[in-house]
Amino acid sequence: MHQFLELENNIKNELLLNNIDENIEIRISNFPNYDFQIDNLVKHQNHPEIEKIVISISKIIENDDSITNYQITDKYFINLEINIESFIKVFENIKNIIRSQSSKKIILDYGGPNIGKPLHVGHLRSLNIGRSLSKINQLAGNKVLTDIHMGDWGMPIGQIIGYIEKFDIELGNIDINDLEEIYPKAAKLYGEDKVFKDHAQLINKKLNTNNKNLLKKWEKIKRISVESIKEILHLLNHTFDLWMGESDVNYLIPEMIKRLDKDGKISIDEGAYVSNLESDPKILITKSDGSYLYLTTDLATVSNRIEKYDFDKTLYIVDKRQKLHFDQLFKSLDYFGFAEREYEHIAFGTINDLNGNPYKTRQGDTKKLIDLFEETCLYIENINPEIEDKTIKILANTVLTFSDLITNRMTDYKFDLDKFTNITGKTGIYVQYSLVRAKKLVQNSSINKNDLQITVSELDDTDIKLLKSFSKFEYLFTKALVNSEPHHLADYLYELSNEFNTMYQGERILENENLSIKYNKLKISYLFIEFSTLLMESLGLTPVDKM
């Protein structure tokens, strides 16, 4: 870690002298009285020079400013207690500490709304995780490009246009509500009516070959849909750099197929193109009527991105049921000889209802995000009717984001609005409240942050606990970044908020006549505000000023 750089290097070098090549990992400790631990030595407990090594390492730790107390156990665990005084500088400089020297260009592919379908609960996690990962990567110094990657092509479009043609619906008059009604009906008909199915498939095929008349209809439908998507995303505070869709790469596909065929990478099987790569199941590249599939457009999308944006890495934030698809995509990229880049499927679990079934409305439809948002606003209004409209909206977004990001992304979790809007407990409301409290406190004190010093001898247990917790930031941030797991930061935000509240509640800070104590607590509150705000930023939350 950056904050222990010197210590890590010194220990690493000492171990190298004894022919031990270890990447020194300083981890958070749960042991009472210690803050961090180093476990690298444990596995070398039978090393012939182990006692000598222990002595040298002890010296290194004793000479290190950042450590005030340490212990090397009989099993060779190294326990460290940090020196708070030396860490104040680290805390004040936390934004630079977490910024990495090497900057990568990363594309985040998430959201993935479909034309004709409203944004629903199924989109919530992709949006939340994607936004958070984009913030985290930016804070880490990476260059981030977000792409909403719309599902604006393929069979659903064929179904919608087919339906409109069949029932002679006037395109000029339809709005988003009509469209959202048409799609489920069209999809149903597609499954039931063979004639309609053939017609829709024909439309899809014609679109793939750029039929002008159909393209015009498609454009109109897309425009209505995108307007509505933008509206709801604005409400949920999501923005994207790129609004690319599957349709944008359609023109690249014929050329791509031709090349793959020529290179002997794909061949015809029962009329469809199949990858020649050995795999089970075989990888289907096109349909037997020559039209394109999910994988076809995704391949073309990568090819387009390589050419236009020259990225180092792409993260696909898509639910875990699509694992096979991404396995196939990544294998194919390699086999087909696409330029070498990093790709990762950031998979996540489903949102279920309290019985563990997929989250639906009472009528059995998927729940729309707009309805969920409004429902959440109502809950918040009920807590405090005096609250401003603007604040209600921010808090509703906080609830929908925090409760989503607090669980490990791979877990299927149960959505419970009662619980998530609960005023007690590990909720978005709680972390916002804590920050509001802290801001009000320092505001009432009328003392500037820079005029405050920490007097270590006057710190009490609640101060020390919070200060020491600040030192975990780099560790948890790195973990969230490396593993693309925002939940570490959500949990940490709660922990800091809770520790702040404990300190705050301990005594009436502004009335304390011992100025050292008062200034300590105010300084710590300022630091808390900074850390909490930074954590909220990395989770995609907007802090409120009052509530």
Partner RNA sequence: GCUCUCGUAGCUCAAAUGGAUAGAGCAACAGACUUCUAAUCUGUAGGUUAUAGGUUCGAGUCCUAUCGAGAGCGCCA
Q: What part of residues 366-385 is at the interface with RNA (CB under 7 A)?
A: 380, 383-384
- Stretch of 101-109, 163-171, 288-296, 337-345 contacting RNA, by CB under 7 A: 288-296
Which of positions 513-542 make contact with RNA (CB under 7 A)? none
Site for RNA contains 156 (CB under 7 A) = yes
Give the interface size with RNA as a residue count (CB under 7 A): 100
The window from 25-33, 89-97, 101-109, 452-460 that contacts RNA (CB under 7 A) reads: 25-33
Coil, helix or strand at residue 270: coil
Query: Which is it for the CA torsion 444, 449, 453, 454, positive or negative?
Result: positive
Residue 451 is a binding residue for RNA (CB under 7 A): no
* Residue listed under structure tokens 């180092």: 312
Judged by CB under 7 A, does residue 410 bind RNA?
yes
**Cα gap 194→450, rounded to integer Å:** 74
CB atoms within 10 A of CB 460: 13
Nearer to RNA, 201 or 376 (CB): 201
Is 425 near RNA (CB under 7 A)? yes
Q: State the nearest-atom distance from the C-beta of 310 to RNA, in Å.
A: 25
* 9 lies in the site for RNA, by CB under 7 A: no
Q: Could you give phi then psi for residue 390, rounded to 5 degrees?
A: -60, -40
138 binds RNA (CB under 7 A): no
Is residue 498 close enough to count as binding RNA by CB under 7 A? yes
Return the number of the residue (271 or 337) whose C-beta is nearest RNA: 271
Give whichever of 63 and 384 is closer to RNA, judged by the CB atom. Answer: 384
Sheet holding 26-28: strands in order across? 26-28, 36-38, 78-82, 67-72
Question: Which residues in the 225-264 window bind RNA by CB under 7 A?
Answer: 246
Q: Edge-to-edge strands of the sheet including 342-348?
A: 143-147, 105-109, 313-319, 342-348
CA dist., res. 295 & res. 329, Å (int): 7
Q: Considering the complex, what minimum distance in angstroms separates the CB of residue 290 from RNA?
A: 9
Paired residues of 27 in beta bridges:
37
Shortest distance, CB of residue 173 to RNA, whole angstroms? 27
What is the C-alpha R_g of the chain? 28
Burial 496-509, CB ≥16 within 10 A → b, else e: bbbbbbebbeeeeb
By CB under 7 A, is residue 424 in contact with RNA? yes
* Position 220 contacts RNA (CB under 7 A): no
Residue closer to RNA (CB basis): 134 or 275: 275
Minimum CB–partner distance for residue 432 and RNA (Å): 8
Pick left, alpha or beta for residue 35 (phi over 0 → left; psi -120 to 50 → alpha; otherwise beta): alpha
Site for RNA in 98-117 (CB under 7 A): 114
